[in-house]
Structure 1
Amino acid sequence: MSYETSTLPEFSIIIISYNTRDMTLACLSSVYAQTKGDFEIVVLDNASTDGSAEAIRQDFPEVTLVAESVNHGFGPAHHVALPYCRSPWLLLLNPDTVVLDGALDRLMAFRDQRPEAGIWGGRTLYADGRLNPSSCWHRQTPWSLFCRASGLAVIFRNSSFFNVEAYGGWRRDDVRDVDIVTGCLFLISRETWDRLGGFDPVFTMYGEEADLCLRARDIGVRPAITPEATIIHYGGASEKARSDKLVRILRAKAELIKRHFSPSTLRLGLFLLKLWPLSRHLALSVIISLPRMDRFHDTALAWRNVWKRRAEWCDGF
């Protein structure tokens, strides 16, 4: 299908929804209320059972809705949605977000101000206004994995030395190059996306943007974020079971180590990754045996289940 250049929207917003009806509707409302630029929205619904597709079709008929009968997973769903996007600029936005203060227009302006970045992101907050630091991440390293497994990343969470992956202590209040921009607010050109092949479909949920950003850095792209583009991101709205979520995250982290660590550090990286849930399991088992520590029971149970299920995640995909 061909389009006249003059009719193309400046950017295409892609939203992948799965059983987040009310949040998706709120997200769409915020996009239209807070965005002045010329854009289109493509929502791919991953076979939701909560009436998401019907509600979107009724409340936002201007949205291009792709209602699927199967759940493709988060990463692969973008490849299904992509043919419906007409713009040379792709803006990925999670359904459990709320756009604030013209954030998407500001992100497009940031693209113009810092064209060398190649991938652009912003700042995320929790619903109560506290910083949600998950808008960006540092790549995993043997040191960061050791700090996580030993608990140093938690004890010294505000230290950029010990809490490396989360850029500990940084309030996301200035412009910086980062290793990984999170997919909840993620701007990339169609040209760069196509050059990289987009998200690797192996990463069905979690890790897809980390893999893409690390591959992008290998070809000279330098992802960056700006505090000017700020949104609310609730996080984890479509995944409720804690141990299941942790298993998915650990599986993705193991795969990232296999793909992006050097041969000399690969075995060490996988070993240190295994120590993280083991150390949490052992520490929490001790903690809940102490008086008045019942409040940690559910967390201890989750980590125990994750460790018992280690065969599901320790070798990645």
Structure 2
Amino acid sequence: MDKPGFPPVGVIIPNFNGVHLLRRNLPFVITAAAAYPGACSIIVVDDGSGDGSAEMLRAEFPSVRVVSHETNRGFAEAIHSGVEAAEAEFLIFLNSDVRPHEDFMAPLIRHLEKTDVFSVSPLVLDEDGRVNPVSWRCYRMKRGRLRALRWNSDDLKSTVPKESLFASGGSVALRKSMFMALGGYLPLYKPFYSEDFDLGLRAWKRGWRTLLEPASRVVHERKGSISENVAADRVRKTRVRNRFLLEWTHMPGKDLMLFLVPGYLSQFIRRLLRLDVVYVKGFFAALRRLPEALRIRAEIRKHQVLDFWRIIDSIETNFKSNTDG
């Protein structure tokens, strides 16, 4: 029987040619769903797989709901199809290469009942048990680029949840209504990468926080479905392109002109000298989408209540606080 005080949860897993990942990791998701004190449903969105994923799911995991795309549409649209199909307000997105601990759900969901919390990240572990840096995100300007602050598990000197800039799209709990209000993942970043970074920033700018909950844990495999199904050059080009687009969309204009543009020029020259063709292609691919990025930038400003550096200062200060009270 479901316990009162634990709202229904929908787990959404996007899949593309990941039949072996689903067979390996889905049993852990089912165990965690059964351990959650409230109702929990699992939806796998098969994004045009050609490896028999959908057929395997229906035969071997009949309790899991399958939503199928006839053709591959990319990560964002797979998630959107799952969100549309889900009935619960509280959702958890899990990649097929993520293996959750049995008790990971409840610690995430308890935060979502706070009206200013948009999303919550579990502590992400590597297969050898080490804490993965994707668990907590914060950035500062260094050497002309926006760079992630380094940290390790020793920095979590208490079990108190910490504010984070965004949660990895591969393991995150969030509110469906807020996700929909933000417009979900933006097509600017299709087919993959940086959607979660952008989403977290757009939420923060509206005053909606993201948290890291150390009491919730998942294991992320080193090699996932993107690296197995997409050519390495295309993956890197997309990463480069989307990082430029993210900065052009979100960074304050003063920082773009004083720090990032000179940094771009310096790095571009170095990459040219090294004959880094993939980087150059990624930069020009971003330039082609600049008008769309600027349009989105203007739209974000209409709803913005917090500026970029105020958000960063809040997250860094909160992380350095070691009190348990």
TM-score range, shorter chain: 0.7 to 0.9
1:261 aligns with 2:248: no
User: What is the rounded CA distance, in whole Å, between the counterparts of 2:266 and 2:56 in structure 1?
Assistant: 44
User: Which residue is 2:151 aligned to?
Assistant: 168
The gaps in structure 1 that reach 5 residues or longer are 1-5, 149-163, 286-302
Q: Mean Cα displacement is larger for which, 270-279 or 63-72?
A: 270-279
Letter in 1 for 2:287: D
Give CA deviations for 1:211-235 in whole Å, capped at 9, x if unaligned. Answer: 1111101111111111111101125
1:64 aligns with 2:89: no
The gaps in structure 2 that reach 5 residues or longer are 290-325
Letter in 1 for 2:210: P
User: Which residue is 1:134 aligned to?
Assistant: 134
Give CA deviations for 1:191-210 in whole Å, capped at 9, x if unaligned. Answer: 21122111112222111111
Q: What SS does structure 2 have at the residue aligned with 1:118?
A: strand
Q: Which runs of 4+ in 1 moved over 4 A?
A: 273-282
Q: Which of 199, 205, 226 in structure 2 is aligned with 1:218?
A: 205
User: Which residue is 1:124 aligned to?
Assistant: 124
User: What is the rounded CA distance, in whole Å, between the counterparts of 1:25 and 1:275 in structure 2?
Assistant: 46
- Seq. identity, %: 23
Say if 2:31 and 2:102, in contact at 8 Å, map to a contact too.
no
Say if 1:180 and 1:210, in contact at 8 Å, map to a contact too.
yes
Say if 1:144 and 1:165, in contact at 8 Å, map to a contact too.
no
User: Which residue is 1:272 aligned to?
Assistant: 263
1:189 aligns with 2:179: no
User: What is the rounded CA distance, in whole Å, between the counterparts of 2:75 and 2:266 in structure 1?
Assistant: 28
1:309 aligns with 2:281: yes
Match runs of 1:269-308 below 5 Å: 269=260, 272-273=263-264, 279=270, 304-308=276-280
User: What is the rounded CA distance, in whole Å, between the counterparts of 1:314 and 1:145 in structure 2?
Assistant: 21
User: Which residue is 2:237 aligned to?
Assistant: 247
Q: Which of 193, 196, 202 in structure 2 is aligned with 1:209?
A: 196
Match runs of 1:26-105 below 5 Å: 26-35=24-33, 36-37=35-36, 38-105=39-106
CA 1:54–1:177 in 2, change beyond 3 Å: closer, same or farther? same
Give CA deviations for 1:64-95 in whole Å, capped at 9, x if unaligned. Answer: 10121111110122222222101011111111
Deviation at 1:96, TM superposition (A): 0.6
Deviation at 1:22, TM superposition (A): 1.2
CA 1:202–1:147 in 2, change beyond 3 Å: closer, same or farther? closer
Give CA deviations for 1:9-50 in whole Å, capped at 9, x if unaligned. Answer: 711111111111111222210011233222111111111122
Q: What TM-score, normalized to structure 1?
A: 0.77
User: What is the rounded CA distance, in whole Å, between the counterparts of 1:17 and 1:172 in structure 2?
Assistant: 34
CA 1:147–1:190 in 2, change beyond 3 Å: closer, same or farther? closer
User: What is the rounded CA distance, in whole Å, between the counterparts of 1:172 and 1:110 in structure 2?
Assistant: 22
Say if 1:254 and 1:270, in contact at 8 Å, map to a contact too.
no
User: What is the rounded CA distance, in whole Å, between the counterparts of 2:186 and 2:97 in structure 1?
Assistant: 23
Task: Please provide the CA RMSD for this pair.
Answer: 2.8
User: Which residue is 2:216 aligned to?
Assistant: 229
